[in-house]
Amino acid sequence: MSTDRHPSERGNANAAHAANAAPTPAANFIRNIIDEDNRSGKWSQRVETRFPPEPNGYLHLGHAKSICLNFGIARSYGGVCHLRFDDTNPEKESFEYVESIIDAVKWLGFEWRKDSAEHLYFASDYYDKLYAFAELLIERGKAYVDSQSAEDMRVNRGSATEPGKASPYRDRPVDENLDLFRRMKAGEFKEGEHVLRAKIDMASPNFNMRDPVLYRIRFAHHYRTGDTWCVYPMYDYTHCISDALENITHSLCTLEFEDHRPLYDWILDELAAAGVFTRPLPQQIEFSRLNLTYAITSKRKLLQLVTEGHVDGWDDPRMPTIVGVRRRGFTPESIQLLCDRIGVTKVDSWIDMSVFEGALRDDLDEKAPRATAVLDPLKLIIDNYPEGTTEECSAPVHPHHPERGTRTFPFSRELWIEREDFAETPPKGYFRLFPGNRVRLKYGYVVECTGADKDEHGNIVAVHCNYFADSRSGTEGANSYKVKGTIHWLSAAGACPAEVRVYDRLFREAQPDAGGRDFLEALNPDSKRIVQAYVEPGARDAAPEQRYQFERHGYFVADRFDTKPGKPVFNRIVSLRDSWGKPA
- Residue 139 makes contact with ligand ATP by CB under 6 A: no
Q: Which residue from 550, 361, 489, 548 is spatially nearest to 558, judged by alpha carbons? A: 548
Shortest distance in whole angstroms from residue 314 CB to ligand ATP: 15
401 is in an annotated binding site: no
Determine whether 183 is an active site residue.
no
- What distance, in Å, lies between the first and last C-alpha atoms of the chain? 23
Shortest distance in whole angstroms from residue 503 CB to ligand ATP: 22
- Residue 346 makes contact with ligand ATP by CB under 6 A: no
Return the SS3 of 378: strand
Shortest distance in whole angstroms from residue 189 CB to ligand ATP: 28
Q: Which of 210, 224, 299, 328 binds ligand ATP (CB under 6 A)?
A: 299
Shortest distance in whole angstroms from residue 108 CB to ligand ATP: 13
Site string for ligand ATP, 243-282 (x = CB under 6 A): ----------xx----------------------------
Residue 427: burial class (beta carbons within 10 Å; 0-12, 13-18, 19+): exposed
User: With respect to ligand ATP, which residue has the nearer C-beta, 297 or 331?
Assistant: 297
Shortest distance in whole angstroms from residue 517 CB to ligand ATP: 19
Non-local (6+) Cβ contacts of 372 within 8 A are 395, 409, 442, 488, 489, 490, 535, 536, 550, 551
Q: What does the alpha-carbon distance between residue 539 and residue 542 come to, in Å, rounded to a whole number?
A: 5
Q: What does the alpha-carbon distance between residue 304 and residue 239 come to, in Å, rounded to a whole number?
A: 28
- Residue 297 makes contact with ligand ATP by CB under 6 A: yes
206 is in an annotated binding site: no
Among residues 299, 432, 501, 505, which one is catalytic?
299
Q: Which amino acid is at 62?
A: G
Non-local (6+) Cβ contacts of 284 within 8 A are 240, 251, 252, 253, 257, 260, 261, 264, 265
Question: In the beta sheet, which residues pair with residue 439?
Answer: 447, 485
Q: What does the alpha-carbon distance between residue 424 and residue 546 come to, in Å, rounded to a whole number?
A: 37
User: With respect to ligand ATP, which residue has the nearer C-beta, 90 or 377?
Assistant: 90
DSSP structure class, residue 223: T
Torsion of CA 256, 96, 110, 240, to 10 degrees: 40
Shortest distance in whole angstroms from residue 510 CB to ligand ATP: 16
346 is in an annotated binding site: no
Q: Which of 5, 34, 47, 66 binds ligand ATP (CB under 6 A)?
A: 66
Determine whether 404 is an active site residue.
no
Shortest distance in whole angstroms from residue 66 CB to ligand ATP: 4
- Residue 28 makes contact with ligand ATP by CB under 6 A: no
Site string for ligand ATP, 45-64 (x = CB under 6 A): -------xxx-x-----xx-
290 is in an annotated binding site: yes
- Residue 554 makes contact with ligand ATP by CB under 6 A: no
Non-local (6+) Cβ contacts of 137 within 8 A are 143, 198, 214, 270, 271, 274
**What DSSP string describes 384-404?**
TSPTT--EEEEEESSTT-GGG
233 is in an annotated binding site: no
Non-local (6+) Cβ contacts of 358 within 8 A are 12, 15, 578
64 is in an annotated binding site: yes
User: With respect to ligand ATP, which residue has the nearer C-beta, 33 or 478?
Assistant: 33
Among residues 289, 346, 419, 552, which one is catalytic?
289
- Residue 290 makes contact with ligand ATP by CB under 6 A: yes
- Residue 304 makes contact with ligand ATP by CB under 6 A: no
Determine whether 299 is an active site residue.
yes
Please say whether the beta carbons of 370 and 549 come within 8 A. yes
Please say whether the beta carbons of 263 and 209 come within 8 A. yes
Active site positions, annotated: 54, 289, 299
Chain positions contacting ligand ATP, by CB under 6 A: 52-54, 56, 62-63, 65-66, 253-254, 289-290, 297, 299
- Known binding residues: 54-56, 60-66, 86, 235, 254, 289-290
- Known binding residues for ATP: 54-56, 60-66, 254, 289-290
